[in-house]
Structure 1
Amino acid sequence: MSHPFSSLSPDLVMSAIESLDVWPAGEPFALNSYENRVLLFRDDDAKNWIVKFYRPDRWSDGAIQEEHDFLQELANQQVPVVAPWRNQAGVSLHTFKAYRFALFPHCPGQAPELDNPSHLFAMGEVLGRLHSVSAKQTFQHRPRLEMVSGILDAQQRVLDSQWMNRHQCRAYERVIEKVQQHLKQHNVPDSSMIRCHGDCHLGNVLGRDEDFTLVDFDDCIMAPAIQDIWMLLPTDDPQGWRSYLNEITEGYEETCPFPCEQMTLIEPLRSYRLIGHSAWLVSRWDDPAFPQAFPWLADSGYWDQHIRQLEQQCLQLDNPRWLA
């Protein structure tokens, strides 16, 4: 069975870019991206670009366009993001053969250093500016964060994949049930949902010194504001997390109030992400990029480790460090 990107050849990539009257000076260079295909190229004016080919059948055209329009809205309000290039007709989502794609100006830089207080403050400031704009409207075509139903869907995908043996399946079902019981206590009211980046980890923040830009809004979603904050708080420094949080909070409150009332959602959101990540991997295994990048998934030991990790996570749900 062919995978979604089986026909995305180098020649097709070049032809797609050239169909926009943009002329690469050489063959595009593939970047580390698994859900979509993302490549870097330089045009004949020596300007660097990113071309992003969207995974077929994942998002509707309306959902992708909503991402693009959100980015443009943020850029217009001087929030540091990278909005997609638009042609003279104002079109940002393009089609070539079977693929939808977009061009983005290349954003150079490095991830912030979370042990640097000024970087944390700057990140808080960026997220505060993001949320002050994003709270003004809602998404119509993109999903809302639904932790309980999302975990049920992820659980089913993992079990249907038949990666685990019978003993592991039983242990997995038990720990998922524990997580579900916790998450049912944390329903997020509609009034707390805003447009969020959705995947705000260090790999999606680039900059130099204290000037950072948010990139890759492919998973933007309606969610509580804390969704864009919790991944910046390290789990390996339980004694120091409060100082990290204080710097982020001070930067955030330069623009809007910090959502302190959402701190109880941090461990439920972490649980949701841990479970969803494994489900994502098994769901994409027919794409050759995944066995190559994640070979350990085929090892039975991975699932033992995953189950133990979820059991440890249940302890955090019982006694969240963020509320100590």
Structure 2
Amino acid sequence: MSDTPYADLDPDRILHAVESLGLRADGRVLALNSYENRVYRIGIEEGLPLVAKFYRPGRWTDAAIGEEHAFALELQAADLPVVAPLAHGGTSLHGFEGHRFALYPMRGGHAPELGEREVLTHLGRTLGRMHAIGEGAAFANRGVIGIESHGEEPVHFLLEEGWLPPALESNFERLAEALLDAMEAAEDRAGDVRRLRIHGDCHPGNILWREGAGLFVDFDDTLTGPAVQDLWMLAGRREDMARPLRWLLEGYEQFRRFDRRELHLIEVQRTLRLLHYNAWIARRWHDPAFPAAFPWFQEPRHWETVITQMQEQLAALQEPPPDPD
């Protein structure tokens, strides 16, 4: 796989790809904020603009992308507020000159105000409905969020590829080993909680708030995991989570019971996100978009901050979970 998979994805090729589906573009192409994939707003003659998402080569199989699309379309068919791909010629995944892409309707909005009870109960209701549908079937080709895939593998990659400054490497390795043990202990305390199809990357930037409602976008990281993975990023800072969680669950449990044992997994999920995020940037460093977007990543100060965050997470994993009741 090329280190620069989008080098040939110029405006002409983007427009030709869209027009290969029988659409007539008006020549306007605007790059939208995305690093893992490439996403563009495309002007359409005699129609509303569309969003074209070009998938990173080699990341997902066609079958895995198909499951992403099918899940979003299943949610949309159940009247959930999600942005699902558009079908052309009987399919939502298309190919053009070596690139795979999908088209979506263009939607506007802003990030939700997470400090407001009405907003959080609304988002909780939506997630409760989403998870009630998510547990009705299983993914066969998507990933599973877990300590091995999002913890052990990122740690090994960062160490083996020499991303840590030499002066910090042993400290990072020691903390990582302690974190992996602490996460396993937290999972033992939680017990055998249910894993289901979830959004997977449910941060405020993936929710468009408009006209008093939240619209969920970007199911690119949909996978199998615990329900709490879609809740904790909406609940704010660790020390202030109890009340926001209560409001989220107030809406959530109108449609699906939340297993309180999953509260033991909040800091597990937060730790996995920290480790996975840094390894993700490192794995993509040969893509020119990443050094431009994250110029601080190779600086020792960044890794000092990461180690501080790891120390904080090690302490948090020893503490009781928040009590939203």
Q: TM-score range by the shorter chain?
A: over 0.9
- TM (norm. structure 1) is 0.95
Q: What is the alpha-carbon distance in structure 1 between the residues aligned to residue 321 and residue 237 of structure 2?
A: 9
Q: What is the alpha-carbon distance in structure 1 between the residues aligned to residue 252 and residue 80 of structure 2?
A: 13
- TM (norm. structure 2) is 0.95
CA contact (8 A) 2:193 2:262 kept: no
Q: What is the alpha-carbon distance in structure 2 between the residues aligned to residue 167 and residue 216 of structure 1?
A: 38
- Matching of residues 150-229 of structure 1 within 5 Å: 150-185=150-185, 186=187, 192-229=194-231
1:31 is matched with which residue? 32
AA of the residue aligned to 1:52:
K
Q: What is the alpha-carbon distance in structure 2 between the residues aligned to residue 150 and residue 161 of structure 1?
A: 17
Q: What is the alpha-carbon distance in structure 2 between the residues aligned to residue 32 and residue 315 of structure 1?
A: 34
Q: 1:211 to 1:197 in 2, by over 3 A?
A: same
2:236 is matched with which residue? 234
SS at match of 1:80: coil
How much has 1:232 moved relative to structure 2?
0.6
2:280 is matched with which residue? 280
**CA deviation string 1:283-318 (max 9, x = no partner):** 100001100110000211101110111011101001
Runs ≥4 in structure 1, deviation > 4 angstroms?
187-191
How much has 1:320 moved relative to structure 2?
4.1
1:62 is matched with which residue? 63
CA contact (8 A) 1:122 1:210 kept: no
Q: What is the alpha-carbon distance in structure 2 between the residues aligned to residue 316 and residue 305 of structure 1?
A: 16
Percentage identity across aligned positions?
A: 38
AA of the residue aligned to 1:154:
P
Q: What is the alpha-carbon distance in structure 2 between the residues aligned to residue 121 and residue 53 of structure 1?
A: 34
Aligned-residue Cα RMSD (Å) equals: 1.7
- Matching of residues 40-55 of structure 1 within 5 Å: 40-55=41-56
CA contact (8 A) 2:15 2:27 kept: no
SS at match of 2:42: strand
CA contact (8 A) 2:271 2:310 kept: yes
Q: What is the alpha-carbon distance in structure 1 between the residues aligned to residue 158 and residue 11 of structure 2?
A: 33
SS at match of 1:184: helix
CA contact (8 A) 1:147 1:272 kept: yes
Q: What is the alpha-carbon distance in structure 2 between the residues aligned to residue 150 and residue 230 of structure 1?
A: 17
SS at match of 1:275: helix
Of stretches 165-174 and 251-260 in structure 1, the one that deviates more from structure 2 is 251-260
Residues 1:300 and 2:300 are matched in the alignment: yes
AA of the residue aligned to 1:164:
L
CA contact (8 A) 2:66 2:93 kept: yes
CA contact (8 A) 1:284 1:290 kept: yes
SS at match of 2:51: strand
SS at match of 1:35: coil
Q: Which runs of 5+ in 1 are unaligned?
A: none
**CA deviation string 1:145-165 (max 9, x = no partner):** 221343111012111332322
How many residues are aligned here? 321
Q: 1:192 to 1:175 in 2, by over 3 A?
A: same
**CA deviation string 1:253-302 (max 9, x = no partner):** 12111232200000011001001110001110000110011000021110
**CA deviation string 1:126-148 (max 9, x = no partner):** 10110111110000110112213
